[in-house]
Amino acid sequence: MLLPMSYFPYKTPRPFQDELISRIFQSEKLVCDIPTGVGKSVSALCGFLADRDEGERIIVLTRTKTQAKIFLKEMAMISKHIKRPFMTVPLRSKQDSCPAFKNDEVGYEEFLQLCKLNTGCLYRMRFNENLDKIEGAAREIAHSSLTSYQSLIGKAASLGCPYLVLQRLLNYSDVVIASYLYLLHPFLRGMFLDRIGKDMDEILIIIDEAHNLQNLDILGRTLGRKTLDLACREINYDFSNIYAIFEGDDSELDISDLLDRREVAFLYDRGVEVLERRLKRGRKVSYTYRVASFLDSAFRLRRERNWIFFRQDGRLLLKPVFPSDILNPLKEAKKLLLMSGTLSPPEGYLTLYGLNGETACETFSLPNIFPKENCRYLGIKHGLNTGIGLRKKLKETLWQAYAAEIEKIYKSSSKTTLVFFPSYDIMTEVGNYIDALKEPSSSSSTDVFWDELRDHEKKIVFAVSGGKLSEGVEYTVENDGVKESVVGTVIIAGFPFPVPDFEMEIKGRMYDGRFGFGKSFQLLSVLPMVTKVLQCIGRAIRSEKDRAAVVFLDDRVDYFRYFPEDVRYELEIVDQRDIHLEVGRFHSNG
């Protein structure tokens, strides 16, 4: 067995990286708060590979395809470095890898039914014909150290259905890179473990960007009245019982009090029939199936104490409540690592994820590795915040004041000013009083947005905390092979607290009941707010050469006690009218 640093594929480790690798290697359960630039992905893999026994599997859970790509690339580098082929299988959903229904706008459960109904699938037939070639393909893939999912899918498709080929390749895998759902979804977890042929204590789990686990929306489901209206057009059926569920105030619901299970089963079968008929005509959507599938899930989960079925704003929702209950089965793994650059405060995450008490988990935090003088944190004493009280008092005047302050700070900055708002509504309100390049509303306009952002002219950019531009993206340009941030100033234009709604009310009662009175506000409001802000801050400085001012335009300074030390200790609170002057001084001294 090799030592952890023997797997390290680069010439020299970055600051603190060897310490991080050693700690990951030694710990069975670990929560790591690791800032940008340390190299957490390769560090985790080195520590896990050194602690892995023959036949055990390393499972890497990621939220985005970009994060998965990083791990696949690092495994290829490690394999090349130690001259040993590792079988690394990157898994996406069955729908994502299907060439027969590629780019079709259908829901996932709908797709699964379509796949079953497509009995004449040529890809499935070719897979069955090539079963005896899978083992040889596994050896070839392992030796080729593929660095992209597309390359692997290309090789898999030559043997038939790419998804079925990847599932067979799991038998030969050393490392599996998959989405959170493969181990977090209660219905998928058992199937996944069966496919890899391992029990939970035979796998080692890395959860990347683990702060995302506080929001369990990826596991939840929603049903709107519009879907039901469309289902009415598909089949001749009296949906009045289901329409009645949508009527009334926001409320928790018990599906067994509202519907008969046999009615849902009947609609489920009818939905499958609609899918089958439409598939023959080249159409692939059944709204009847979508309605029945949602209601069937509500029945299946009604005895699960961690799931709530409720009506809010005229929609029906089915969601889990406690991340700790979702994560609980993973605690039986041989090794468990949760890592992110924004797991602060760590004690809050230990409570939220159920990693304290009898299942105590170690914590490990590293300081920011970039020079302190490259970043200046500034806050204001009083005058601006996006709380409900000040919004009601000042109304439009508040948004005008924000626009005026943002413009002054922008003029004092040497590069682009990136402004993060608590919501799209507030971004729109402030945008009425100042011209800015705004976060694109659709993926089709994303490329145009990045072209405009990186054209070397400084500008004001508006985005939303927790939105698609606040996490996992780099605001950089490349000059002579060196990346440089285009951002000179980041403005947090109001703390992004979650908007109180009926769902928060339900969860608040349940959290106070489990963790103690008053804990719900810290776990459901403060913790997500801090996480979002830290992700926003991380967009500015991506290397030791980048410099940026970070300005908090929110005078609720008491909340800074929940932020990491490098923010709390470096933060300077100044008068609002002086803040643009301080930004100018910082950039002038650069």
Q: Which pLDDT band, with edges at 50, 70 and 90, does 538 fall under?
A: confident
Mean pLDDT score of the chain, rounded to an integer?
89
Q: Which pLDDT band, with edges at 50, 70 and 90, does 104 fall under?
A: low
Q: Which secondary-structure segment (H or E) carries 156? A: helix 149-157
Say yes or no to pLDDT of 473 above 80: no
Query: Under a CB-based contact definition with an 8 Å cutoff, are residues 242 and 298 in contact?
Result: no
**SS3 call for 568:** helix
Q: Which secondary-structure segment (H or E) carries 379? A: strand 375-380
Pick from 123-137, 224-238, 531-545 the range whose average pLDDT is largest.
224-238
Token pair in block for residue 199:
């029990």
Query: Under a CB-based contact definition with an 8 Å cutoff, are residues 4 and 46 in contact?
Result: yes
Token pair in block for residue 324:
């700790």
Pick from 91-100, 145-154, 234-243 the range whose average pLDDT is largest.
234-243
> Which residues partner with 485 through β-bridges?
476
- The rounded distance, in Å, linking the Cα atoms of 565 and 588 is 26
Q: Which pLDDT band, with edges at 50, 70 and 90, does 282 fall under?
A: low
Classify residue 419 as left (phi > 0), alpha (psi -120 to 50) or beta: beta
Query: Under a CB-based contact definition with an 8 Å cutoff, are residues 527 and 349 in contact?
Result: yes
Average pLDDT over residues 244-249: 96
Average pLDDT over residues 271-283: 80
Pick from 222-226, 465-469, 517-521 the range whose average pLDDT is largest.
222-226
**H-assigned helices in 380-493:** 388-394, 396-412, 424-431, 446-453
Q: For the chain, list the domains and their CATH numbers.
A: 4-86+174-216+323-365 (3.40.50.300), 218-320 (1.10.275.30), 372-588 (3.40.50.300)
Token pair in block for residue 262:
């046999």
* Nearest by Cα to 314 from 195, 240, 375, 224: 224
- The rounded distance, in Å, linking the Cα atoms of 88 and 149 is 10
Query: Under a CB-based contact definition with an 8 Å cutoff, are residues 366 and 33 in contact?
Result: yes
In the prediction, which pLDDT does 370 show? Answer: 82
- The rounded distance, in Å, linking the Cα atoms of 6 and 244 is 64
Convert the pLDDT of each residue in 349-389 to its tens digit.
999 999 987 667 889 988 888 888 889 999 998 889 999 99
343-352, 405-414, 496-505, 569-578: lowest mean pLDDT where?
343-352
- Residue listed under structure tokens 């990045």: 450
Q: Which secondary-structure segment (H or E) carries 30? A: strand 29-33
Convert the pLDDT of each residue in 547-583 to its tens digit.
999 999 999 999 999 998 889 999 999 999 999 999 9
